[in-house]
């Protein structure tokens, strides 16, 4: 039998420097270290602010340059062994610090800049401290808490899906038993996807297939009241996104925008890539009713939290009403291929 403890062991990896949350945390960690150094260096509390501002003027340009290089080389860094990635970041920090030290010396020759060796040691030590923080966060906090939260959020989606699908079958049992049998078969396939291990990112092609299959079930139940418009021809099929985001959004749009209306309505799905981001836009008729709006918010909060667990500050879900339409837009980083899925 496989060793479960070995299978569940967290792999050590560099943070994804393409993630806005990672960049902000790295910058904040450096500022905290600089503030601590300013407190230690200052002889009086009143001088901490002046010392910190002086250190910030020296630290900020190298910090921004290192983060910029890390951002553009993030995909390459994530493919390297952890030790090599750490070495690259530390050496990069030291080299940038040396270059900035030389620039300051040439620009302000009469100003005391301190030892180059001391600056290099401080830069390398700071880089190691920041990477150590991310390592600790990844190994100790993120995997266990995020996985448990994802499992809990995922489990809350399944009952809604099962309930709505069973309603479809019940509406067909008496008048169209053969069609009800076909729906049950399709429903079994869809529910198998819901019961699968959905912690990893999923290809957009799979999510679109699932969403179309679900829309087919609902069109059988609602008939001509439900009209679907798909604008996905230019969508990147190999883009990776959290599983079961599109289908619950579609389920939400149908339930809150079409089912309650005697005349029905149209649900429009638009998926496209723009500026290194994947966009999902769903539009449905805006319907009144406090209970429906409350349920709407619960579903959207679920998806919003799962996006945050996968992409941190890089993903967002926004909603607004325009011209009698309720519009949901999801924006997340455009990730492609298996390497990115593993990295995420």
Answer with the residue of higher pLDDT: 339 or 298.
Answer: 298
Residues 16 and 85 in one domain: yes
Of the pLDDT bands very low, low, confident and very high (cuts 50, 70, 90), residue 148 is: low
Any domain includes 191:
no
Given a contact cutoff of 8 angstroms between Cβ atoms, the answer to whether 266 and 229 are in contact is yes
Distance CA 96, CA 92 (A): 6
Any domain includes 291:
yes
Cα-based distances in Å from 136 to 35, 66, 128, 207: 21, 21, 12, 33
Per DSSP, the three-state class of 344 is coil
Radius of gyration of the chain (CA): 26
Q: Helix (H) and strand (E) counts for the chain?
A: 12, 8
Best CA proximity match to 252, nearest among 153, 331, 164: 164
Distance CA 173, CA 151 (A): 33
Distance CA 177, CA 181 (A): 6
Residues 134 and 247 in one domain: no
Any domain includes 152:
no
Picking from 71, 106, 141, the residue at the C-terminal end of a domain is: 141
Given a contact cutoff of 8 angstroms between Cβ atoms, the answer to whether 302 and 157 are in contact is yes
Q: What does the pLDDT look like over 12-46, one tens digit per residue?
A: 678 888 888 888 888 888 888 878 877 777 767 76
Any domain includes 157:
no
Residues 77 and 210 in one domain: no
Residue 79 has pLDDT above 80, yes or no: yes
Mean pLDDT of the chain: 77
Q: What is the pTM of this model?
A: 0.62
Of the pLDDT bands very low, low, confident and very high (cuts 50, 70, 90), residue 208 is: very high
Q: Per the structure, how many domains does the chain have?
A: 2
Angle at 172 between CA 167 and CA 176, to 5 degrees: 170
Distance CA 219, CA 231 (A): 18
Residues 127 and 225 in one domain: no
Q: What does the pLDDT look like over 288-302, one tens digit per residue?
A: 554 444 445 667 877
Distance CA 246, CA 240 (A): 12
| Least confident window among 69-78, 79-88, 113-122, 226-235 | 113-122
- Domain containing 215: what range? 200-343
Residue 67's Cβ-count burial label (10 Å; 0-12, 13-18, 19+) is middle
191 Cβ contact partners less than 8 Å away, ≥ 6 residues apart: 158, 161, 162, 165
Picking from 92, 122, 141, the residue at the C-terminal end of a domain is: 141
Any domain includes 124:
yes
Any domain includes 321:
yes
Residue keyed to tokens 């299978």: 7
* DSSP-assigned states of every residue in 272-289: EEETTEEEEEEEEE----
Any domain includes 288:
yes
Of the pLDDT bands very low, low, confident and very high (cuts 50, 70, 90), residue 4 is: very low
Answer with the residue of higher pLDDT: 315 or 33.
Answer: 315
Structure tokens at 214: 């679900």
Residue 111 has pLDDT above 90, yes or no: no
Best CA proximity match to 90, nearest among 136, 115, 121, 53: 121
- CATH number of the CATH domain containing 270: 3.30.565.10
Structure tokens at 329: 């837009």
Distance CA 267, CA 283 (A): 6
Of the pLDDT bands very low, low, confident and very high (cuts 50, 70, 90), residue 264 is: confident
Picking from 124, 141, 158, the residue at the C-terminal end of a domain is: 141
* DSSP-assigned states of every residue in 236-254: -TTEEE-TTSHHHHHHHHH
Distance CA 78, CA 252 (A): 36
Any domain includes 161:
no
Residues 117 and 217 in one domain: no
**From edge to edge, which strands make up the β-sheet containing 277-285?**
226-231, 265-274, 277-285, 325-333, 316-322
Residue 58 has pLDDT above 90, yes or no: no
Distance CA 295, CA 297 (A): 5
């Amino acid at each position: 039998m496989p060793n479960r403890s070995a299978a569940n062991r967290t792999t050590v990896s560099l943070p994804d420097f393409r993630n806005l949350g990672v960049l902000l945390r790295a910058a904040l960690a450096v500022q905290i270290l600089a503030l601590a150094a300013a407190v230690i260096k200052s002889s009086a509390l009143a001088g901490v602010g002046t010392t910190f501002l002086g250190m910030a003027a020296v630290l900020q340009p190298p910090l921004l340059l290192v983060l910029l290089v890390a951002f553009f080389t993030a995909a390459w860094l994530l493919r390297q062994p952890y030790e090599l990635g750490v070495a690259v970041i530390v050496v990069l920090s030291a080299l940038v610090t040396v270059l900035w030290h030389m620039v300051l010396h040439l620009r302000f020759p009469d100003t005391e800049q301190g030892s180059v060796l001391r600056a290099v040691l401080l830069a390398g030590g700071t880089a190691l401290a920041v990477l150590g923080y991310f390592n600790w966060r990844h190994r100790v906090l993120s995997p266990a808490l995020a996985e448990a939260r994802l499992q809990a959020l995922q489990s809350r989606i399944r009952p809604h899906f099962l309930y709505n699908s069973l309603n479809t079958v019940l509406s067909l049992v008496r008048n169209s038993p053969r069609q009800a049998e076909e729906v049950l078969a399709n429903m079994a396939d869809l529910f198998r996807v819901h019961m699968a291990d959905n912690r990893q990112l999923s290809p957009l092609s799979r999510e679109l297939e699932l969403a179309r299959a679900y829309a087919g079930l609902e069109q059988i139940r609602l008939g001509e009241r439900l009209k679907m418009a798909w604008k996905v021809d230019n969508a990147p099929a190999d883009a990776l996104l959290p599983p079961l985001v599109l289908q619950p959004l579609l389920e939400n749009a149908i339930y809150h925008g079409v089912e309650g209306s005697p005349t029905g309505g149209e649900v429009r799905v638009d998926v496209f890539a723009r500026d290194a981001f994947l966009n999902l836009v769903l539009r449905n008729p805006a319907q009144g009713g406090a209970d429906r709006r409350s349920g709407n918010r619960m579903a959207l909060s679920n998806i919003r939290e799962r996006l945050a667990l996968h992409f941190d500050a890089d993903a967002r879900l926004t909603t607004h009403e325009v011209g009698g339409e309720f519009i949901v837009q999801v924006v997340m980083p455009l990730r492609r291929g298996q390497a990115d899925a593993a990295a995420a």
